[in-house]
Amino acid sequence: MADRERRHTRPLGSVFVPHADVLNADDLSRAILRMAHEIVERNRGLKNVVLIGLQTGGVAIAERLGELLLEIEGNAPPVGSLDVAFYRDDIGLRPVLPEATTDIPGDLTGKIVILVDDVLFTGRTIRAALNALGDFGRAAQIQLAVVVDRGHRELPLRPDFVGKNLPTARDELVDVTLDGVTLGRLESL
């Protein structure tokens, strides 16, 4: 979960206390490598493929996928980033602030956009991202790649590429870094 989410999730000012290691660094890199192969397989290569990492958790994953796709196919797809703060439907419900840059590599019309995020939870971030992408052109297809699908969807969305399906309780937090995936809770100090 991105720092933004953590800082603004109640109880405020609490710390992340891990209680289970889900994937270690090796497990995670194997999962991402498999996702890279699935992306190539599904799209029969990388023609017109653009990777867009969601700020902030998805960006490092998108960059890693880009490197692996270069190794697998010999050419790297363009990699961009997107901050969806301005497209969220919960402004006024909680503090929503842009955290980082949006950098979309060119017009997306006719492209196969692969949205990349660390954790898929309610689906609201992805809904916001789909709305945002519409402003950058009419993509031929939008596919979704996530490292962890933790359930609890509130919208009719499903991922195309998943690193790990992880059943969770609603109040748990999933922490994804390139060092691995841990499950924990926010606890007040």
CB-nearer residue toward another protein: 28 or 62: 62
Query: Are residues 116 and 55 in contact, defined by beta-carbon separation less than 8 angstroms?
Result: no
What residues from 126 to 165 belong to the interface with another protein (CB under 8 A)? 131-132, 135-136
Burial 138-155 (b: 16+ CB within 10 A, else e): ebeebbbbbbbbbeeeee
Angle separating helix axes 57-73 and 25-43, nearest 10 degrees: 60
Which of the stretches 7-15, 22-30, 110-118, 140-148 binds another protein when contact is defined by CB under 8 A? 7-15
Least Å distance between CB 81 and another protein?
Answer: 11
Minimum CB distance to another protein, residue 134 (Å): 8
Q: Spell out where 63-108 has E strands.
A: 79-82
Which member of 10, 37, 138, 158 binds another protein (CB under 8 A)?
A: 10
Size (the chain), residues:
189
Is 3 among the residues that bind another protein (CB under 8 A)?
no
Site for another protein contains 187 (CB under 8 A): no
Residue 21 CB partners (closer than 8 Å, separation 6+) = 180, 181, 182, 183
Calpha distance 135→149 (Å, rounded): 27
* Nearest distance from C-beta of residue 88 to another protein, angstroms: 7
Which residues sit opposite 91 in a β-bridge?
94
Of residues 55-94, which lie at the interface with another protein (CB under 8 A)? Answer: 83, 85-88, 90-94
Tokens of 184: 């924990």
Out of 34, 42, 124, 185, which residue is the one contacting another protein (CB under 8 A)? Answer: 124
List the interface residues with another protein, window 14-43 (CB under 8 A): none
In the complex, the residues that contact another protein under the rule CB under 8 A are 5, 8-10, 12, 83, 85-88, 90-98, 101-102, 107, 122, 124-125, 131-132, 135-136
